[in-house]
């Protein structure tokens, strides 16, 4: 069961007043030529963990620490660029695209949350 776009958009609007998360700089150890956009968190962004819990947690169980309908995300070997693109574009038949729903700052917040996961 996918979360309808309207619900996701409404949640993003409702939580826009919450304090924003400070985003840690992500080092690109893979040395790829396509660096992540330098998105800054704004007052309209929400903390990545809360956004993950309300949007992604249905499929990525235990806060992303275990596989559910979606894969386990903790200790993922996927590049930051891959994860950002997957969040933005989704995967046909498996994951909705959130590029039109989330700001770059919110997506970077989700990435920071994912990278901070431990088992």
> pLDDT tens digits for 52-83?
999 999 999 999 999 999 999 999 999 999 99
What are the domain boundaries of the chain? 45-119
Given a contact cutoff of 8 angstroms between Cβ atoms, the answer to whether 112 and 84 are in contact is no
> pLDDT tens digits for 16-49?
444 443 333 344 444 455 565 555 555 555 689 9
Alpha-carbon Rg for the chain, nearest whole angstrom, is: 14
Task: Provide CB contacts within 8 A for 44, sequence distance 6+.
Answer: 16, 20, 103, 105
CATH of 45-119, one of 3.40.50.150, 1.10.760.10, 1.20.140.10, 3.40.50.620: 1.10.760.10
Helix (H), strand (E) at residue 104:
helix 104-115
3-class DSSP state for residue 91?
strand
What distance in Å separates the CA atoms of residue 117 and residue 115, rounded to the nearest whole number?
6
User: What is the pLDDT at residue 33?
Assistant: 54
């Amino acid at each position: 069961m996918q979360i309808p776009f309207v619900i996701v958009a409404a949640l993003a609007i409702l939580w826009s007043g919450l304090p924003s998360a400070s985003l840690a700089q992500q080092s690109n150890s893979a040395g790829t030529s396509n660096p992540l956009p330098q998105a800054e968190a704004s007052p309209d962004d929400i903390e990545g963990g809360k956004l993950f819990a309300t949007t992604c947690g249905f499929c990525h169980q235990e806060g992303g620490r275990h596989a559910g309908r979606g894969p386990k995300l903790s200790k993922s070997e996927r590049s930051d660029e891959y994860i950002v693109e997957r969040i933005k574009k989704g995967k046909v038949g498996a994951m909705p695209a959130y590029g039109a729903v989330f700001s770059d700052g919110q997506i970077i917040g989700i990435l920071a949350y994912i990278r901070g996961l431990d088992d």
